[in-house]
Amino acid sequence: MYPETTRVVHWHAGVALALFALQVLFGLISVLHFVFPDFQSGGLLEFNVSRTVHINLLIVWLLMGFFGATYHVVSEESQRELYSPRLALGTLAAFAGGGVVGIIGYIFFHHWQGREFLELPAYLDLAVVAVVLTFLFNAIMTVWKGERRTSVEFVLLLGLVLMALLYFPGNIYFANEAMQSFYWWWTIHLWVEGVWELIMGSMLAFMLIKMTGVDREIMEKWLYVVVSLTLFTGILGLGHHYYWIGTPNYWLFIGAFFSALEPLAFVAMILYAVFARQKSKREHPNRAAMLWTIGCTIMATIGILIGFAQTLPNINSYTHGTHVTTSHGHYAFFGAYAMINLAFFSYLLPRVNGIEADEWDQSRNIWSFWLMVVSMVGLSVSTMIAGVVQTVFERMKGVPYITVQEMPTMVLAYQLWLLFGLIFAVGVGLFLYDFFRPARVKEEAVDRLVEPVRG
């Protein structure tokens, strides 16, 4: 435990969680537009605005979570405090400040670029570059000056450095729309189906080593399997976004072949989590974090299998850009990257609050897990229903878009989306409440818990 670093990590988790809540609020505002088509028409929170805020906040809070987790991992693995905790707090403040300016720009001035997920205007992109470079400098210096260097932190840093480099292609200006899309996918696809998997894999490995006590060598070998599978399938899997944007025909084959293999890396992650759980040398007191960790690998895999279902060109030519994609996007983003962050925050919660894991009454956190997981399944099923209706009627039968929007099944699907969204928001609220004010078990219960160990 390194107190200075822990304080930095606590701040990162806190700010990331606040932005998560805001992201979900903007998701709810976005779906209100589907349920009540006249909602805010001509107002400040038009659909294009609320949607932009919703998905850009997603990226910001996930990155902030990754930064916090990285500071913790490099400090623990290198067995020292962060190189500069003050610089880390400054970086966080700049990041959060840039984000706020970005949101104000979207809502009041429609200042964005039309690059979904990467909408920050150019002047703020420069700020992002400065923030990321400072972050990487701090993390790398910690490893450099550290007592020990490990594969887990190497893979984590590799993922982060590649992530920083891949921020550029999506932001280059091309007058040609097809060229623009071609490179924009390098950022988006190669993040979520490439380098972020390295980040996720190493965060998983770190938590599993700490919580199960399984030999580091074994977990590191698994990690390299995940890295190899990811890079082998994910890089050319990029082709599944090149079917219909004006690229040569050979992409149909390349995209289909490599992206169909992509689930392997995620299945490997489930296997290593379950393996570690079974080989566990002790029952770790932080059951909540363990639940999030194993849950994350399973939810991520189901989420990407929904992507897999539409990855072949002959299917994708019908489903492309319908709510089938929305269903996959929500499930996969939540299952993989939101959940790995929430797992890490749950793992850190007792430490950052200065209590032992067995002093923490985890029931609120575990409730929030089930509320979020079950409602995300519901949300994803609702959007899938909407997507299938669109695919069959709009794409296959040629019924006009607006007629399909008004079909009773579509209307019901949107209402269910809103309902599950509200339940999801309750889960988020509970997680946040418990993170900032952790429920504690009574002292006698602590005595009971530790008694067998003493005996």
Pair of tokens at residue 39: 């909602």
Q: Is 189 in the site for Fe ion (CB under 5 A)?
A: yes
The one of ligand HEM, Fe ion, none whose footprint includes residue 52, by CB under 5 to 8 A per kind, is none
Q: Collapsing DSSP states into helix, strand and coil, what is residue 440?
A: strand
Beta-bridge partners for 30? none
Angle at CA of residue 284, ends 278 and 290, nearest 5°:
70
Pair of tokens at residue 236: 């050319």
Q: How far apart are CA 150 and CA 360, in angstroms?
A: 30
Residues numbered 116 to 175 that lie near ligand HEM (CB under 6 A) are: 116
The one of Fe ion, ligand HEM, none whose footprint includes residue 321, by CB under 5 to 8 A per kind, is ligand HEM
| Closest distance to ligand HEM from the beta carbon of 27 (Å) | 3
| Closest distance to ligand HEM from the beta carbon of 317 (Å) | 9
If you compute the radius of gyration of the chain from its CA atoms, what whole number of angstroms results?
22
Q: Is 112 in the site for ligand HEM (CB under 6 A)?
A: no
Q: Quick check: 340 and 204 in contact, CB under 8 A? A: yes
How far are the Cα atoms of 58, 99, 166, 282, 387 from residue 63, in angstroms, in the given order? Answer: 9, 12, 14, 32, 29
| Closest distance to ligand HEM from the beta carbon of 338 (Å) | 4
| Closest distance to Fe ion from the beta carbon of 210 (Å) | 31
Member of 326, 346, 365, 380 binding ligand HEM (CB under 6 A) = 326
Pair of tokens at residue 408: 């009773």
Q: Identify which of residues 24 and 132 has a Cβ nearer to ligand HEM in the complex.
A: 24
The one of ligand HEM, Fe ion, none whose footprint includes residue 295, by CB under 5 to 8 A per kind, is none
Sequence letter at residue 309: A
Pair of tokens at residue 385: 């229903």
The one of Fe ion, ligand HEM, none whose footprint includes residue 395, by CB under 5 to 8 A per kind, is none
Q: Is 12 in the site for ligand HEM (CB under 6 A)?
A: no
Binding segment toward Fe ion, per CB under 5 A, in 11-19, 107-115, 186-194, 269-277: 186-194
Burial of 229 (0-12, 13-18, 19+ CB in 10 A): buried
Helix runs in 320-442, H state only: 323-332, 339-352, 363-389, 401-405, 408-436
Q: Is 405 in the site for ligand HEM (CB under 6 A)?
A: no
Which residues would be at the binding site for Fe ion (CB under 5 A)? 189, 193
Which residues would be at the binding site for ligand HEM (CB under 6 A)? 24, 27-28, 30-31, 51, 54-55, 58, 116, 192-193, 240, 259, 262-263, 300, 304, 307-308, 310-311, 316, 320-321, 325-326, 328-330, 332-334, 336, 338, 421, 424-425
